[in-house]
Amino acid sequence: MDEDNMEARIDKLEERIKAIEDIFAPRIIDRQSSHVEASGNDARDELDVGDVKTIKIFDPPGSGNDPDHGVGKIKGIITFVDCRGLDVEQDDVVHCRITDVQENAAEGVATQFADYE
Protein backbone atom coordinates (compact mmCIF):
# COMPACT_ATOMS: atom_id res chain seq x y z
CA MET A 1 0.00 0.00 0.00
CA ASP A 2 1.51 3.34 -0.99
CA GLU A 3 1.79 6.27 1.40
CA ASP A 4 -1.13 8.27 -0.10
CA ASN A 5 -3.51 5.30 0.22
CA MET A 6 -2.31 4.67 3.76
CA GLU A 7 -2.98 8.29 4.77
CA ALA A 8 -6.42 8.22 3.13
CA ARG A 9 -7.25 5.02 5.02
CA ILE A 10 -6.08 6.54 8.31
CA ASP A 11 -8.23 9.62 7.69
CA LYS A 12 -11.27 7.42 7.03
CA LEU A 13 -10.66 5.42 10.20
CA GLU A 14 -10.32 8.61 12.24
CA GLU A 15 -13.66 9.82 10.84
CA ARG A 16 -15.30 6.52 11.81
CA ILE A 17 -13.88 6.67 15.33
CA LYS A 18 -15.14 10.24 15.72
CA ALA A 19 -18.62 9.18 14.54
CA ILE A 20 -18.68 6.32 17.07
CA GLU A 21 -17.52 8.62 19.88
CA ASP A 22 -20.29 11.09 19.00
CA ILE A 23 -22.87 8.34 19.56
CA PHE A 24 -21.87 7.83 23.19
CA ALA A 25 -22.19 10.33 26.02
CA PRO A 26 -18.80 11.82 27.02
CA ARG A 27 -19.23 10.48 30.56
CA ILE A 28 -19.40 6.90 29.27
CA ILE A 29 -16.26 7.36 27.19
CA ASP A 30 -14.43 8.95 30.17
CA ARG A 31 -15.37 6.00 32.38
CA GLN A 32 -14.19 3.45 29.82
CA SER A 33 -10.97 5.38 29.18
CA SER A 34 -10.28 5.53 32.92
CA HIS A 35 -10.79 1.80 33.24
CA VAL A 36 -8.42 1.02 30.37
CA GLU A 37 -5.75 3.45 31.62
CA ALA A 38 -5.96 2.26 35.22
CA SER A 39 -5.80 -1.43 34.40
CA GLY A 40 -2.10 -1.20 33.57
CA ASN A 41 -1.06 1.08 36.43
CA ASP A 42 -0.70 0.62 40.16
CA ALA A 43 -2.14 3.73 41.79
CA ARG A 44 0.23 3.30 44.73
CA ASP A 45 3.16 4.07 42.41
CA GLU A 46 1.61 7.40 41.42
CA LEU A 47 -0.22 8.72 44.51
CA ASP A 48 0.42 8.94 48.24
CA VAL A 49 -1.97 9.64 51.10
CA GLY A 50 -1.80 13.35 51.85
CA ASP A 51 -0.99 14.43 48.29
CA VAL A 52 -3.04 17.36 47.02
CA LYS A 53 -3.92 17.01 43.35
CA THR A 54 -6.11 18.88 40.89
CA ILE A 55 -8.88 16.74 39.44
CA LYS A 56 -11.68 17.25 36.92
CA ILE A 57 -14.93 15.65 38.10
CA PHE A 58 -16.61 13.78 35.23
CA ASP A 59 -19.24 12.04 37.35
CA PRO A 60 -20.59 14.55 39.89
CA PRO A 61 -22.05 13.84 43.32
CA GLY A 62 -25.63 12.59 43.17
CA SER A 63 -25.32 11.05 39.70
CA GLY A 64 -24.59 7.59 41.12
CA ASN A 65 -25.57 5.86 44.33
CA ASP A 66 -23.63 8.23 46.58
CA PRO A 67 -24.94 11.80 46.89
CA ASP A 68 -21.66 13.10 48.39
CA HIS A 69 -18.95 11.62 46.16
CA GLY A 70 -17.91 12.56 42.65
CA VAL A 71 -15.60 10.63 40.35
CA GLY A 72 -12.62 11.84 38.37
CA LYS A 73 -9.21 10.59 37.42
CA ILE A 74 -5.68 11.57 38.33
CA LYS A 75 -2.95 10.28 35.99
CA GLY A 76 -5.48 7.77 34.65
CA ILE A 77 -6.36 6.53 38.15
CA ILE A 78 -10.06 6.51 39.02
CA THR A 79 -10.52 8.70 42.10
CA PHE A 80 -13.60 8.92 44.30
CA VAL A 81 -13.85 12.42 45.71
CA ASP A 82 -15.85 13.43 48.78
CA CYS A 83 -17.35 16.73 47.65
CA ARG A 84 -19.36 17.61 50.76
CA GLY A 85 -19.31 21.34 51.37
CA LEU A 86 -18.80 22.22 47.70
CA ASP A 87 -21.49 22.47 45.04
CA VAL A 88 -19.60 20.36 42.49
CA GLU A 89 -21.07 19.76 39.05
CA GLN A 90 -19.90 17.76 36.03
CA ASP A 91 -16.60 19.02 34.59
CA ASP A 92 -15.79 21.16 37.65
CA VAL A 93 -12.15 21.12 38.67
CA VAL A 94 -11.24 20.86 42.35
CA HIS A 95 -8.19 20.45 44.54
CA CYS A 96 -8.34 17.03 46.18
CA ARG A 97 -6.41 15.76 49.21
CA ILE A 98 -5.76 12.02 48.82
CA THR A 99 -7.04 10.01 51.82
CA ASP A 100 -6.62 6.42 50.60
CA VAL A 101 -4.79 4.71 47.75
CA GLN A 102 -5.46 1.18 46.57
CA GLU A 103 -4.06 -0.75 43.62
CA ASN A 104 -6.63 0.44 41.06
CA ALA A 105 -8.28 3.46 42.66
CA ALA A 106 -7.89 6.30 45.11
CA GLU A 107 -10.12 8.29 47.44
CA GLY A 108 -9.87 11.91 48.40
CA VAL A 109 -11.60 14.98 49.78
CA ALA A 110 -12.27 18.08 47.69
CA THR A 111 -10.81 21.07 49.48
CA GLN A 112 -11.69 23.90 47.09
CA PHE A 113 -12.45 24.73 43.48
CA ALA A 114 -9.47 25.16 41.15
CA ASP A 115 -9.03 27.37 38.14
CA TYR A 116 -8.94 25.30 34.98
CA GLU A 117 -8.06 26.59 31.56
Q: Which residue has the higher pLDDT, 18 or 112?
A: 112
Write out pLDDT tens, residues 69-86: 999 999 889 999 999 999
| pLDDT for 108 beyond 90 | yes
Q: What structural domains and CATH numbers belong to the chain?
A: 1-117 (2.40.50.140)
Report yes or no on whether pTM surpasses 0.75.
no
Write out pLDDT tens, residues 1-35: 688 888 899 989 988 888 777 776 666 666 666 66
Nearest in space to 43 (alpha carbons), one of 100, 108, 105, 109: 105
Contacts of 85 (CB under 8 A, 6+ apart): 110
